[in-house]
Structure 1
Amino acid sequence: MSNSRYSRAALLASTTLSLALISASVSAQEAAPRLANENPTTMLDEIIVNAGKEKVAIDTPQSVSAVGQEEIDAAQASTLGEIIDALPGVSVTNPDATFGQGFNIRGIGGAFAADESRIIIQVDGVKKYFEQYRMGSLFTDPELMKRVEVLRGPASSTLYGAGAIAGVIALETKDASDFLAGDDKYAVRAKTSWESNGNSPLASIITAVKPTEDLEFLANFQYRKSGNYDAAKGKVLENGDITSLSGLAKLGYTFGTNRDQKIEASYQRLYADGENLPYDQLTYSDAFGLTNRIVDDQTAVLSYENTFYGNDLLDIEAQISYSDTEVDQKHPGNIYFGDRAKYSYTTWQANLQNTSRFDLSDNVETYFTYGGEYLNRERLNPRYRPGGVVQPGSGSHPEGRTELAGIFGQAEIIVGERLTLTPGMRIDYTRLKPGDGVASDEELKKFAYSPKIAALYKVNDWFGVFGSIAHTERLPTVDETFSNGNIVDGKLQHLDLEKSNNFEAGFTFSFDDTLQQDDAIRFKATGFYNIIENHISTVFDGTFARTVITEEALLRGLELEAAYDSPNWYGSFGSTITRGNDTSGDKDKYLESVAADNGFLRVGYKYQPWSLDASWRVDVYAPQNRTEDPNNKTPGYALHQANLSWKPQEGAFAGAEVRASVTNIFDKKFQSHLSSSEGKGRSFKLSLAKTF
C-alpha cells in the first residue's frame, strides 16, 4: 500500500485532535458544559460504563451505542441479535436464530465463528468465546440482561483486550436493586410473552430480596420455546424447535467505612435443546444432515470492589470467573462428525484494575486506570465414532489451549471541563498450545501491542469535535493456527499477527428546550478509516475450512446517530455506510464481509394521561452489489415495525406492563446481506409483566 493512504487517514484524525487542542488553549475557562441527565432521554444520553469520569455516549471520543433496560423491554426480543442488529454499524448473521447468530461490526465478522475473535464479547466483565463452524458464537437470553453496550473500532482494545479490531459487545445482567425502590425489602416480577411466528412463548420470574441495607439477592429464571418460524409469504424454513431454560443468581454484600466495599457472587446458566435441527444453523441447509443438539452455557463470577472512601488514588476492582460453553450433538451414522460430537470452551479468567484520580493543576483533572488480566481457555472437540473410537477434534476443529497475560494503562485528562484527552497502552502476551490430535506439537507465542490517543473537545454547550488514532494486534486463534491447511509435514506454518491502524474523527450536537420545553436533540457523526495488515479469515472451500491471508485490507465508513425526546413526541435515526476492499494487489477487490448500507427511522408518541407509548420504525437496506462473487449480491428492502405499550404509574395496575408489536408488517421477503437464510416474515408479539 502506498504511504498516501496512511497520510490521508492520519491527517483526518490529527486535524481533529489539533483543532481540539487549539480550541482548548483559547477557551478552556468557558462555562461548564451540559451535564448528563440523571434519567437518559435518548440512547445518546445513556451513561457509558467505562473507566475514568462518568460520561454519556455522545460525550465519548469513540462511536459507542448503549441500550438500557427500557429499550431492551420495548424490543420484546427473543434473541440478543434482535437488539444488537438495530444499532448503527452493527449487523447480525441470522438475528432471529437461537443457535445461529454471528456478529459483524464495521465490515468485520462473517458466517464463520472464527471471525468473532475480532469482536470481544463480555458478560459482566467475563469474556465469552465460542467457535464452531455453521453455529453462532454467543448463547444467552436477553431477559437476563439490563444493558448492552457496543463500542465500535479498535480504540476499545486498551481496556478490553488486544485484537478488538471491530470492537466490543459488553453485556450487563440484572441486579436486585433494579427492582427495589426506597425501603423495599423484596420484589417479585412476573412476565409472560408470546410471538406468533414460530408460536414461541416465554415465562419469566424474578425475585429480588434486600433483608438488610447491605445485603441483596436476585434470582431470575426463564423458560422459552423457540418454534419453527417462517419466512415471508408463509415459506417454511424448518429451522427446528428449541426449548431453553435460563437463570441467574446474584448475591451482593456491601460493607466497610461509608459502605465503600462490595463483594458479589453470581452464577448464570442457559440450557437449550432441540431435536431434528439442521446441523447448519446459518443456512438451514440439509447438506450436513440433521442433529439433536444440546447447548449448555455457564458463567460464574466472584468480584470485589473498594472505592477507598476519602482516597482518590485507590478505586480497585478485582474479579475471578469461570466460563464453560458446551454444544453436545448426536447424529448417528454421520460420516463427518461421528455418532456424537462435543464442542466446548472452558475459560478461567482473572482481572484486576485500579483508577487513580488526581489534579495536575486547578484546571486539569486526571483519571488513570491501570491493571492486568490473565486468561486460560481450553478447547475440546471429542468425536465418538462406531466401535467406541473417540477422535480428539478434527482437521477443521482442532483442540488446543490459549493462555493470555496482559497489562494496560489508560489516562483521561480533562482540561477546563471542555477538552478530554485519552491516551492508552496495552501489552498482551499470548501462547497457543496444540491439543490431542493436532499434527504438530509446536506452540505459537506472541506479544501484541495496542496504543491509542483520543480527544474530545466541547467547543460550547451544544457542539463538540472528537478524533482518535488507535493500533491493535491480534494473535491467530486455535482454529486458525492448528487447522489442516496450516500444518505441512508436521510443521506449523507460523502466522503473523493481524494488525489494525484505525483513524476516526467526528462531531456532536446537543440542544435542550429547542422545539418545546424539556425536549432534547442529539446528533453524533463518526467517520473511520481502518487499515488491516495480514488480514486473517476462514473460508470453506467445499471440503475443508481453511485459513486465508490477505496482505492488506481497507475498511472505511460513516456512522450517523440522532435522537429527539420530549414529554410527548420522540424519535431516533441511525445510518451506516461502510466500504471494504482487499488492497493487496494491483487492483482492489471487494471484501465479502461488508454489510449493505442501511438506516433506520423511529417515531413515537407518549400519551402521558393514559401511560401509553406508540411508535413506528422503518429499517431500510440498500442493495449490496460490491462483491467479487456475483452470487453474493443482495437486493435492497425495507422493513416496518409498530409498537404499543401501556405502563400505568398509579392505581391498581401500577407496576404492570403491557406491550404489543408487529414486526415485518408488510410480510416483506428479504435476506440480510450477511445472512445465509431468508429473514423472518410477519410476526405478532404480546407481553404482559407485573412487579409486586
Structure 2
Amino acid sequence: MGLKKTGNTRLMGGVALWVLAFNCGAAAQDAVADAAPATPVAGQDQPVSQLQQIVVSAGVPKVAIDTPQAVTVLDQEAIDDLQPRSIGDVFQEIPGVTPIGSNSILGESINIRGIGEALSGDETRIIMQVDGVNKFFEQYRMGSFFSDPELYKQIEVLRGPASSTLYGAGAMGGVITFTTKDASDFLDPGDLIGGRLKTSWDSNGNGWLGSAIVAAEPVKNLELLGALNYRQSQDITDGQGNEVPDTDFSSINGLIKARYTFGENEDQSVFASYQNWSSDEDDQNYDQIAWGPDFGDVDRTVTDQTAIVGYANGFSGNDLLDVKAQFSWSDTRVEQKNQDQICAQYAPAPAPPTCYYPFGFNSEYSYETWQGKADNVATFQLGEDWMAYVTTGIDGQYQERRNPRDFGTYVRSGSGSHPEGETVNVGGYAQAELVWNDRITLIPGMRIDYSNVSVGSYVDGSGNTINLNEEKSAVGYSPKLAAMIKMSEWLGVFGSVAHTERLPSLDEVFSNYVVNDLDKELSNNFEAGVTFSFDDLIMGGDAFRLKGTAFRNNVTNYYASYWNGSTVVTEIIPKARYEGLELEASYWTDSIYGSLGASLIRGNNVSTGGYMNAVPADSAFLKIGYVYRPWNLDFGWKGDFYAAQDRVGADEQETAGYVLHNLYAAWKPTDGFMADSEVRFNVDNVFDKSYRNHLSEDEGAGRSFKLSFAKKF
C-alpha cells in the first residue's frame, strides 16, 4: 500500500502503541501486548471484544476489563461496523449512553446514566473532548455537539463522576473522548504516501457520504494528513413511512494534521491540527429538538472549528518525566437569518394580530474558547512487585459566549435565559496508579477547580444599555479512590468512591441578568463490579469476557432546567439519586462471536419521592456474528431491546417498549484487484418497526439499507 521510500524502514505503530510510547513507558507497552485476544477476527488486528480494547483516557493505558471504572472503547472497526449517519449513532452499543433530542444532526445531545436533558444547561455534567479539547454548545433548542463520525478512529466513554479527576469538576454523567485519525493509520512502513477513498449510501433519506484521506511522510519522521468529507441526506422516514421533519441536511468537514518526531531517541514530537465542520441550510425549523411551531423557520449556518498545537517529550531513560502539553482554540457558532415573525391574536377581532421576532430578524450564538493543558506521567519502581504511575497536570480555559440579536433598531445582547458573558476555568489534578504484581490496582486521585463567570454591560429587550458588571467565583473539589483486585486468573472485583462538585454555569448564575446566589451541585458516587475472563472455555482458542457494574449517584442541589411553556426555568432539586446496573459481555471463537450489553437506570427525586426527568428506558442489545475466513467475510445479526418506560417525571410522557432487528455484513478482500478494499452492507430496523426512543422528541428511523465501499491506496 502506497509508494515505498528507500532507506526508511522505520516501523510506524498504530494508535495504541503510539500513545504508549509517548505517554506511559515500557511497562504500559507490556500491558498492550498482554491485551491481544486469543483469536482475532479476520481482517482485524484489534480484539473482537470491546472489553479487550486499550483505554487511554483513564490515566495509564490499560485493558478495558481491567479498568476499575465503567468504560467502553470504540475503535475504528467498531465505528465502521455501525455505518453511523450522525454522532448519536455511534453510541448504539454502549450501555448507559443514550442520544437525546431528535434525529436532526443539529438537535443531538447525550445522556449518560440519566444525566443530560435536551432543554437543560448540562455544561460540565458530561464532558466531551476532541483530541483533548473541550467541546460544548448550548442554545436550548439545538444540540450540544456538531461533528461527523467519519473524522474519528477511536471513541472512549468513561461513565460516572470518577472521570472528573482528570477532566474537570462536575462530570457527574461522565466523559466522552474523540480521537481523530492520524497519518500513521494509512501508511505502511516505508510508505511515502497513502490514504483512503470511501463512499456510502443510506436508503432512508437517500443519504450519501464521500470521503477522501491523504497521508504522507515526505521526509523521515514528518507525518502529514489531510481529510475531506461531504455528507448529505433528505428527510428520513419513520416505521410508518412518514417523513421526520427537518432531518435533511448537508455538511462538509475537513481535518489536517502534522506531526514531527525528533530527538536522539525519537522521543520528542511537535504536532498541530485543524478541523472544521459546517452545515448551511435554509428554511429550517428554529426548534431542532421538538419541532415546535412557536419559533418559526430560519436560515441557519452552523460552523464548528478546532485548532491545536502541542509538544510531547517522553524523556527516554528518565522514568520521572513523560510530558505532553498543548494549546487549542475552539469556536462553535450558529448564525441565523431571516427569522420568521410570530403572530398572535392578543385582542378580539377585528383587531390585527400582534407580530414580532422572538429572537430578532438575525441572531448568532457563539462559544469561542482558548484552552491550555499540560501533564506528566512519572513511573516509580516501588519494589520487586510494586509499580506506581503518577499523573499530574494543569489545565485552563477562557470562554466568550456571545448572542447578538438584531431587532432592526437595536442589537440586543442575548436574553434572560442565554446571557452573554465570559467564563474562566483553571484546574489542577494528581492521580496515582499503584499496581502490585498485576493483581491489585489502587487509584487515588484529587482535582481542584476554580471557576469565574462574569457579565459586563448588555442591551436589554428595550434597547437600553445596562452596566451590570458582575462576576461570581467558586472552587470545586473532585477526590476519588478506585480499586481493582484480580482474585484469580478468571475473577476480578472492583469498586470506587468518587465525589465531584459542579460549579454553576454562566446562564445559571445570571439567569434574567440577575445575580443568583446558587450553591454548587454535589455528587457522591459509589460503584462496585465484577469481571470474568475465561479462555478455552468450551473449545480450544475461544474466549469469554464479562464486566458488570452497579452504581449509586447521590446528587445534592441538582439544577433541573425545562421549558414551562413560555420560558426556560430552573428548578433546584435538593436531593436526587441515580442508580443502576450495566453489563457488557462477549464470546468469540475462530469463527463465531457474540456480544451483549444491557443497562438498567433509576432516577428518583428523593426530596419529593417522584421520578427524575430524562431517565432512559431499560435496554439491552445482543449481537451474534460469523466470520468465514476463506473469503474474509464477516456477517451477523443484532437485536436492540427496549422496555416500556412508565417511571417518568412530571414533564414527561410514558413510552412503549420495542425491539429492533438489524443485519450486517463486511467483506475485506486480502488479494487480487480488490485487496485493501472494504465493502459493508447493513440493514437497520429490518421489519420497519414504528417506535420512539424515550429520550427522543420524534419518531425513530424506519428500515434503512446501508452500503459502503472503501479503498486504501
Give the TM-score band, short-chain normalised: over 0.9
CA 1:33–1:76 in structure 2 vs 1: closer, same or farther (change >3 Å)?
closer
3-state SS of 1:365 partner = strand
Paired positions, count = 653
Matched, 1:561 2:589: no
What are the ranges of 5 or more consecutive residues in structure 2 without an aligned counterpart? 1-30, 37-44, 342-356, 461-465
Is 1:290–2:310 an aligned residue pair?
A: no
268, 272, 285: which one aligns with 1:265: 272
1:631 deviates by 5.4
- Cα shift at 1:514: 2.1
Counterpart residue number, 1:443? 471
1:144-195 deviation per Cα after TM superposition (whole angstroms, max 9, x unaligned): 0000100000001000111101000100000000111122211121111111
**Correspondence for 2:597:** 574
Unaligned runs of 5+ in 1: 1-31
Residue 506 of structure 1 aligns with which residue? Answer: 529
Corresponding residue for residue 357 of structure 1: 379
Q: Which amino acid is 1:461 matched to?
A: E
Tell me which of 694, 697, 708 is aligned to 1:673. Answer: 694
Q: Distance in 2 between matches of 1:33 and 1:342?
A: 47
Tell me, yes or no, if the aligned pair for 1:92 and 1:104 is still in contact at 8 Å: yes
SS at match of 1:259: coil
- For 2:236 and 2:220, the matched residues in 1 are separated by 47
Match of 2:39 in 1: none
Show the counterpart of 1:432.
Answer: 453
User: Residues 567 and 113 from structure 1, CA distance in 2 versus in 1: closer, same or farther, beyond 3 angstroms?
Assistant: farther
The corresponding residue for 2:79 is 72
| 1:606 correspondence with 2:627 | yes
Q: Is the 8 A contact 2:124 2:168 kept in 1?
A: no
* Corresponding letter in the other structure for 1:477: S
Q: How much does 1:399 deviate?
A: 0.6
Q: CA deviation at 1:415?
A: 1.3
Cα contact 1:407–1:426 (8 A) shared by 2: yes
Tell me if the contact between 2:546 and 2:583 (Cα under 8 Å) persists in the aligned partners. yes
Partner of 2:77: helix, strand, or coil?
helix
What's the offset of the Cα at 1:302?
0.7
Counterparts of 1:46-445 in structure 2 under 5 Å? 46-50=53-57, 52-94=59-101, 96-334=103-341, 335-387=357-409, 389-437=410-458, 440-445=468-473
Contact conserved, 2:491 with 2:531, CA < 8 A, in 1? Answer: yes
* Partner amino acid, structure 1, of 2:471: E
Partner of 1:455: 483
**CA gap 1:591/1:113 in 2 versus in 1, 3 angstroms:** closer
Q: How much has 1:593 moved relative to structure 2?
A: 1.6
Identical positions, percent = 49
Does 1:542 pair with 2:565? yes
Q: Deviations over 1:462-506 (max 9, x none)?
A: 11000000000001111212122x72xxxx121110010000000
The answer (yes or no) to whether the contact 1:157–1:472 under 8 Å persists in 2 is: yes
Residue 541 of structure 2 corresponds to which residue in structure 1?
518
Show the counterpart of 1:660: 681
How far 1:295 sits from its partner (Å)?
A: 0.5
2:490 matched to 1:469? Answer: no
Q: Distance in 2 between matches of 1:175 and 1:518?
A: 33
- Work out the CA distance in 2 between the residues paired with 1:107 and 1:192: 36
User: Shift of the alpha carbon at 1:51?
Assistant: 5.5
The CA deviation at 1:371 is 1.1
Distance 1:422 1:630 in 2: 40
Aligned AA (1:468): S
- Measured after TM superposition, the shift of residue 543 of structure 1 is 1.0
Q: Could you tell me which residue of structure 1 aligns to residue 518 of structure 2? A: 495
Cα distance, 1:628 vs. partner? 3.7
The CA RMSD over aligned residues, in Å, is: 1.6
Looking at structure 1, the residues matched to 472 and 652 of structure 2 have their Cα atoms a distance apart, in angstroms, of: 37
- In structure 2, the residue corresponding to 1:158 is in which secondary structure? helix
Residue number in structure 2 paired with 1:23: none
CA shift digits 1:183-232 (9 cap, x unpaired): 22111211111111111111000001012331110000001112211111
Aligned to 2:507: 479
Cα distance in 1 for residues equivalent to 2:58 and 2:687: 44
Alpha-carbon distance, 1:384 to partner: 1.0
Kept in 2: contact 1:240–1:277 (CA 8 A): no
Q: Distance in 1 between matches of 2:240 and 2:636?
A: 25
Q: Deviations over 1:39-67 (max 9, x none)?
A: 32311111001365431110000000000
On the 8 A contact 1:241/1:275 being kept in 2, the answer is no
- Residue 706 of structure 2 is matched in structure 1 by 685
Which sits farther off after the overlay, 174-183 or 247-256? 174-183
- CA shift, 1:333, in A, is 4.4
Q: Structure 2 CA distance, aligned partners of 1:39 and 1:203? A: 26
Contact 2:683 2:704 in 1 (8 A): yes
Aligned residue identity for 1:443: E
Superimposed CA distance per residue, residues 281-338 of structure 1 (whole angstroms, 9 cap, x where no aligned partner): 1122323111111111000001111010000000001010000000011133432111
What is the CA-CA distance between 1:116 and the residue it aligns to?
4.6
Q: 1:237 touches 1:284 (CA, 8 Å); kept in 2?
A: no
Would the aligned equivalents of 1:109 and 1:116 in 2 still touch at CA under 8 Å? no
| Distance in 2 of aligned mates of 1:75 and 1:240 | 19
Higher mean C-alpha deviation, range 328-337 or range 138-147: 328-337
**Partner amino acid, structure 2, of 1:147:** Q
Alpha-carbon separation, structure 1, partners of 2:285 and 2:328: 33
Moved more, 338-347 or 274-283: 274-283
Q: What is the TM-score when the length of structure 1 is the normalising length? A: 0.92
Following TM superposition, by how much is the alpha carbon of 1:111 offset from its aligned partner in structure 2, in angstroms?
A: 1.2
Query: What whole-Å deviation, never above 9, does each CA across 1:65-95 have from its counterpart, x for those lacking one?
Result: 0000001111111211001243100011146
